[in-house]
Amino acid sequence: MSLSLSSRSLALFACLPVLVQPAALAQKPAKAETLKVSINVVPGAIRFETTRFDVTAGARVTLTLSNDCVMPHNLILIKPEAEPALVAAVNTMGLEGMDKHFVPDVPGIIAATKLLQPFSKEQLSFSAPAAEGDYPYVCTFPGHWFTMRGVMRVRAAGVALAAPVKSGGNVEQVPDALKNSGMTHKPLGTPEKPFVMRTFAPDPGLDPAVFAHHGVGKDGVKYDPATRLDVTEKVTDPATGAVREVPVVRKAEKGIAGAIAVNHGPDFSYVWDSTECRLLYVWRGGFLDMNTYWGKEPGSGRPKMYIPLLLGHLVYRASGSMPLEGGVKTAPVFLGYKMEKGIPEFRYRVGTKTYREKVLPAGLDRFELRITPEEAGGANVWIVPPGETAVTSVRGEGGAIVVSVKDRPEPPQPAATPAAEAKTKKP
């Protein structure tokens, strides 16, 4: 089947699934021939439905991109020789790409849409190049261009135009197996079988002293690998109006890298840290919202924040240095954990001494630490730090030190910080 711009072939257009039709024909025959092209995004497939369409050299073209996908997409139509430079330029855009719709300032772009948000469309009008040839169009949203692409064929005047090629029938779509996995972003354990999960964990603003054996992370400055220089921005002093160049700073964030988060059901959760080898905090009323790390719906976009949100309210937070008699002179060494009837027992070494430790709920407003020194006799013992009022008792029990702690409830954690919300919007 061929397409030409003559009125004789109008009957053909009616049966074409993708519109390439001389829209102006009905009103203004012959002169202002405008080719209409509609390109749909195949939802979830990182593909354009139309992978090839023909136009006549020099013709006016209106191209409508419809994005019915949950991801943002754009379409850049470019001269074939310009594509390597386009790819290279997009790859250097980084985060600012979002602001520029991933349309870099490179020569050879014939037409480009904005970055279309889900369920939106945009119409482009342009003149087809005068030179015959294959002109690629691509989506330059990161990761998309290698599958999301097609070709505009520019044909000489008088040459019949072929029907557009659609990719729907002949490109396999392998489903994302995660979509039907039934995974939840709010995992929960039970008192009998706690849910144990090593993860980046939130740092609810703990006493810095508890991070005695961590490094001190500093703010970073955005760096441009192309220039090998730090990236700066202009800032205007509101008082004087003076403009200064300052580095673009990426603040260090609160988070715990080596955390082990454990949940005994809605009533009891804690974070035990494999770097400090101690209990850091305890909370009740929920566990962690992993949306920020895993995505909310299985297979949906991820906010790429990587620190989960804490659900519920804190009832204990560690402070000060590790409460072992004699202090801790070298960094503790985490040795792993065993599951004992479903309960994790952490094992670690401090100096020459080895300890095992369990954290157990003890009613609705108490919990216990059970610390067992492995070496017989003379082991360091847990001490109640000065000013510590949450610890109600420390007793020996069958070779273990049992530390009883009473809840000190805090207000509920904020559901999500504004910054987190902002970052949650886009995959």
* All residues at 6 or more sequence positions from 392 whose CB lies less than 8 Å from its CB, including other chains: 366, 404, 405, 406
| Count of residues near other proteins by CB under 8 A | 94
As measured in angstroms, the least distance from the Cβ of 109 to other proteins is 16
Interface residues for other proteins in 270-329 (CB under 8 A)?
A: 274-275, 293-295, 298-302, 304-307
Q: Residues 154, 148: contact at Cβ < 8 Å? A: no
Out of 91, 120, 232, 404, the residue judged to bind other proteins by CB under 8 A: 91
120 vs 414: CA distance, rounded Å? 33
Q: Residues 106, 82: contact at Cβ < 8 Å? A: yes
Our finding on whether 226 is near other proteins (CB under 8 A) is: yes
As measured in angstroms, the least distance from the Cβ of 88 to other proteins is 5
* All residues at 6 or more sequence positions from 411 whose CB lies less than 8 Å from its CB, including other chains: 313
User: Judged by CB under 8 A, which stretch of 31-39, 60-68, 251-259, 394-402 contacts other proteins?
Assistant: 251-259
The two three-digit tokens of residue 235, written as one number = 């800032």
* All residues at 6 or more sequence positions from 115 whose CB lies less than 8 Å from its CB, including other chains: 72, 73, 74, 98, 101, 102, 141
Out of 175, 238, 386, 398, the residue judged to bind other proteins by CB under 8 A: 175
Q: Pick the closer one to other proteins by CB: 338 or 408.
A: 338
Interface residues for other proteins in 196-215 (CB under 8 A)?
A: 196-200, 203, 208, 211, 214-215
Out of 172, 237, 245, 325, the residue judged to bind other proteins by CB under 8 A: 172
Q: Which amino acid is at 341?
A: K
The two three-digit tokens of residue 53, written as one number = 């369409």
As measured in angstroms, the least distance from the Cβ of 299 to other proteins is 7
User: Judged by CB under 8 A, which stretch of 60-68, 250-258, 310-318, 392-400 contacts other proteins?
Assistant: 250-258
Residue 384: how many CB atoms within 10 A of its CB?
A: 14
Out of 130, 131, 252, 422, the residue judged to bind other proteins by CB under 8 A: 252
364 vs 342: CA distance, rounded Å? 20
Interface residues for other proteins in 103-122 (CB under 8 A)?
A: none
Q: Among residues 134, 175, 169, which one has the least CA distance to residue 49?
A: 169
Our finding on whether 225 is near other proteins (CB under 8 A) is: yes
Interface pattern 125-164 for other proteins (x via CB under 8 A): -----------x------xx-xx-xxx-------------
Interface residues for other proteins in 332-351 (CB under 8 A)?
A: 333-340, 344
Our finding on whether 254 is near other proteins (CB under 8 A) is: yes
As measured in angstroms, the least distance from the Cβ of 274 to other proteins is 6
As measured in angstroms, the least distance from the Cβ of 114 to other proteins is 21
* All residues at 6 or more sequence positions from 352 whose CB lies less than 8 Å from its CB, including other chains: 375
**DSSP 3-state assignment of 25?**
helix
What are phi and psi for residue 358, nearest 5 degrees?
-120, 150
Q: Residues 263, 287: contact at Cβ < 8 Å? A: yes
Our finding on whether 51 is near other proteins (CB under 8 A) is: yes
User: Judged by CB under 8 A, which stretch of 1-9, 53-61, 181-189, 317-325 contacts other proteins?
Assistant: 181-189
As measured in angstroms, the least distance from the Cβ of 145 to other proteins is 9
Q: Residues 154, 55: contact at Cβ < 8 Å? A: yes
Greatest CA separation for the chain? 101
